[in-house]
A and B are shown apart, each in its own frame.
Chain A
C-alpha cells in the first residue's frame, strides 16, 4: 500500500479523523498559547478567588483568583510537551533494545528481556513515583520517569516485529548477498518495524499525559505555580464541593487530549495493521 493510499484511508476512518481534529485543536492552542490567554495565568488576584464561570472568566477562577481558562491554555503546551518528550525517552532506548534482543537472540535476548521484565514488574505509577521522589520532583524529572517506565513496552513490540521479520526471505537475502548485520538492521529490519511503533507511540502519548497528570496530582510533577493540568486537579480537589469548576475544567482538558490521542492511535492501527488491509 502506498503512502498516499494509507493517508486516504486514514482520513476516511472517523475515529482517526476525530482524533486528529482534537489533537490539532489542542496543538494550535498550545502553540498560540500566550496570544490566546485573556489573563496572565500566573498572576494571583485574591479578590476574585473561586468565582464561577462568567463572561470575564469563562472557566471561572481558582483559589488564588487566577483565570482558569488561561491556565488551561497554558497547560496545554506543557501537556503536549510531556507527551512528546516522554514518548521519545521511551521509544529510543526501547527500540534499540528490542532490535538487539530480537535480532541477535540467545543470551543477548535473554539478558535484555529479563531486564525489561524487571521494569515491567513494577506498576507504572509506583515506578514513576519512585523515580521522581529520588530525583527532585519537577516537570523534567516527571517526563524522564514516565519515559523510563514505558521503555520495556517498546522493547517488546519491536522485538516481536523483529522476530517475525527475521523469517522473511528478504531479510535473509541481504545476508546472502554479502550484507552485514548493521545494514540488515538499519535498512531492512527497522523500517519494517515502524508501523507498530507509530501506533504505540501515539497511544503512548495519551498514557504519558495521564501518568504525568497523576504525578502532578500527587505533587510530584510540575510544581506550583505552573499551570500543569494534573497539579490544577490537585488544587481543585479541596474545593470540589463549593467550586467544582476548579477541578472540572483541567480534568476535562486531560480527558479531551487523551481521547484525541487514543482515537487517532486506534485509527492509525486500523490503517497500518496489515491483517485488516483488504486487497
Chain B
C-alpha cells in the first residue's frame, strides 16, 4: 500500500527553447525534467542534489504544482494534483510550502515583517486580526526572533535573520510538507549552521516532511534521510544517506562526491575529474545522457537509455553497469 506523502509519476517538463534567429517557434525544446519518478515518505527529509541545469529546481516546482508539467502526474496523499480546481489548489497550498534560496528578494521590502509572516493567514482567511498577530508573534519566537521585531522592515535584518522570516512565513499555515530550494546556499558558513539546526528542530517539533534541494553535498548529507541525484532532467541514483555516501553507484554520483572539496588537507583525494561541461538540456546526448563524460562508457550507453531500477533494497540506479 502506498503510504507516500508525495509521489511523482513520469514527470516531464519541456519548455520551448528560445534559440536565437527566427521569430517564434524554432521547434527546439528544453527538456528540463525528462521522466522522473519518485515518492517522498511522510516524516522524511528527501534530499535532491545536482549541478546547475540538472532540473532540480524545476522538479521542485512541479512537485508542488507551482507549474503544470508537460506530462506525468503528481499525487499528494494519493490525490492527483492535476485534477485540482483553483479552490482545491488553494487549499493544497496550506499543506505544502516553500522556502527559497535568496532571502533578499523573498521578502517585500515595503512590508513590515509581521505583515509578511501573517499574509498567508490573511490569504486563507484564518483568524481575526488579533489572532493573526498572536500567531505571528508565536512564529517569530519559533524561528528564534523576538516578537517585537514584527514591526520592522526586511532591510533591518541580516541574511540569516531574513531566512528565518521566510521560514516563519512558510510555517504559518501549518504545512505538512516543505520544499526547501537551496535554503542555505546564499548564507555564510556560520549562519548556514544556525539555519540548518533550526530546520531540523522544526521538523522534529512539527512533524514536517522536507524535500531539500541543494548543490552542496555536505549540507544535503547532514540533513537528509534519502538522497536522489539528478543529471539533465533525470534521476540517476536514489539511496539512503549512509549507503550513498559510503558507496555511490552511478559514475556521475561518484564524480560528484569525489569533486567536493574536503576540509582536511591530509584526506586522501579520490579525485575523478570529469571531462568537459554539462551538455545543454536542449540537445541531450542519446542513450544515457551522461555517457560522453563517463569513465566507464560502454557501447550500449550511447544507444539505450538506462531505466532507474532497484538494484538492492532501497537502492535505485539508472546505469547499464548494473
In-complex A–B contact (CB below 8 Å): yes
Interface residues of A (CB under 8 A from B): 1-2, 168-171, 173-179, 183, 187-188, 191-192
In the bound complex, do residue A192 and residue B94 qualify as a contact, i.e. CB atoms below 8 Å apart? no
Q: How far, in Å, is A46 (CB) from chain B's closest CB?
A: 60
In the bound complex, do residue B124 and residue A170 qualify as a contact, i.e. CB atoms below 8 Å apart? no
Interface residue B195 (Cβ < 8 Å from any Cβ of A):
no
Interface residue B245 (Cβ < 8 Å from any Cβ of A):
no
Contacts of A178 in B (CB 8 A): 90, 93-94, 120, 123-124
Question: With A2-B153, A173-B98 in contact, do A168 and B105 touch (Cβ < 8 Å)?
Answer: yes
In the bound complex, do residue A173 and residue B106 qualify as a contact, i.e. CB atoms below 8 Å apart? yes
Contacts of A168 in B (CB 8 A): 105
In the bound complex, do residue B107 and residue A170 qualify as a contact, i.e. CB atoms below 8 Å apart? yes
6 closest pairs, A vs B, by CB? A178-B93, A169-B106, A169-B105, A178-B90, A177-B120, A170-B108
- State the CA gap A2–B110 with chains docked (Å): 9
- State the CA gap A179–B125 with chains docked (Å): 11
Question: With A178-B90, A179-B123 in contact, do A192 and B110 touch (Cβ < 8 Å)?
Answer: yes
In the bound complex, do residue B155 and residue A170 qualify as a contact, i.e. CB atoms below 8 Å apart? no
Interface residue B212 (Cβ < 8 Å from any Cβ of A):
no
Question: With A169-B100, A169-B102, A170-B106 in contact, do A177 and B66 touch (Cβ < 8 Å)?
Answer: no
- State the CA gap A192–B153 with chains docked (Å): 14
Interface residue B97 (Cβ < 8 Å from any Cβ of A):
yes
- State the CA gap A252–B66 with chains docked (Å): 59
In the bound complex, do residue A179 and residue B108 qualify as a contact, i.e. CB atoms below 8 Å apart? no
Residues 95-125 of chain B, each 1 if its beta carbon lies under 8 Å from chain A, else 0: 0011010100111111100000001100110
Contacts of B120 in A (CB 8 A): 177-178
In the bound complex, do residue A1 and residue B155 qualify as a contact, i.e. CB atoms below 8 Å apart? yes
Q: How far, in Å, is B84 (CB) from chain A's closest CB?
A: 12
Contacts of A171 in B (CB 8 A): 108
- State the CA gap A171–B108 with chains docked (Å): 8
Listed A/B pairs (5) with beta-carbon separation below 8 Å? A168-B105, A176-B93, A177-B97, A177-B120, A191-B110
Q: How far, in Å, is B115 (CB) from chain A's closest CB?
A: 9
In the bound complex, do residue A183 and residue B110 qualify as a contact, i.e. CB atoms below 8 Å apart? no
In the bound complex, do residue B102 and residue A177 qualify as a contact, i.e. CB atoms below 8 Å apart? no
Q: How far, in Å, is A183 (CB) from chain B's closest CB?
A: 7
Contacts of B102 in A (CB 8 A): 169
Interface residues of B (CB under 8 A from A): 64, 66, 90, 93-94, 97-98, 100, 102, 105-111, 119-120, 123-124, 153, 155, 169, 173
- State the CA gap A2–B94 with chains docked (Å): 33
Partner among A1, A176, A192 whose Cβ is within 8 Å of the Cβ of B108: A192
Contacts of B98 in A (CB 8 A): 173, 176
In the bound complex, do residue A176 and residue B119 qualify as a contact, i.e. CB atoms below 8 Å apart? no
Q: How far, in Å, is A3 (CB) from chain B's closest CB?
A: 10
In the bound complex, do residue B123 and residue A170 qualify as a contact, i.e. CB atoms below 8 Å apart? no
Contacts of A1 in B (CB 8 A): 155
- State the CA gap A128–B208 with chains docked (Å): 63
- State the CA gap A168–B102 with chains docked (Å): 10
Name which of A169, A177, A183, A187 has the most chain B CB atoms within 10 A of its CB.
A177
- State the CA gap A183–B66 with chains docked (Å): 17
Name which of B93, B98, B108 has the most chain A CB atoms within 10 A of its CB.
B108
- State the CA gap A183–B111 with chains docked (Å): 14
- State the CA gap A169–B97 with chains docked (Å): 14
Contacts of A176 in B (CB 8 A): 64, 66, 93, 97-98
Nearest CB in chain B to that of A183: its residue: B123
Name which of A2, A178, A179 has the most chain B CB atoms within 10 A of its CB.
A178
Nearest CB in chain B to that of A167: its residue: B105
- State the CA gap A178–B122 with chains docked (Å): 10
Q: A173-B100, A192-B109 are in contact. List 20 more A-B contacts (CB 8 A).
A: A2-B153, A169-B100, A169-B105, A169-B106, A170-B109, A173-B98, A173-B106, A176-B64, A176-B93, A176-B97, A176-B98, A177-B93, A177-B119, A177-B169, A178-B90, A178-B93, A178-B94, A179-B123, A187-B111, A188-B108
Nearest CB in chain A to that of B181: its residue: A169
- State the CA gap A188–B106 with chains docked (Å): 12
Contacts of A170 in B (CB 8 A): 105-109
Question: With A169-B100, A191-B110 in contact, do A179 and B119 touch (Cβ < 8 Å)?
Answer: yes
Q: How far, in Å, is A109 (CB) from chain B's closest CB?
A: 16
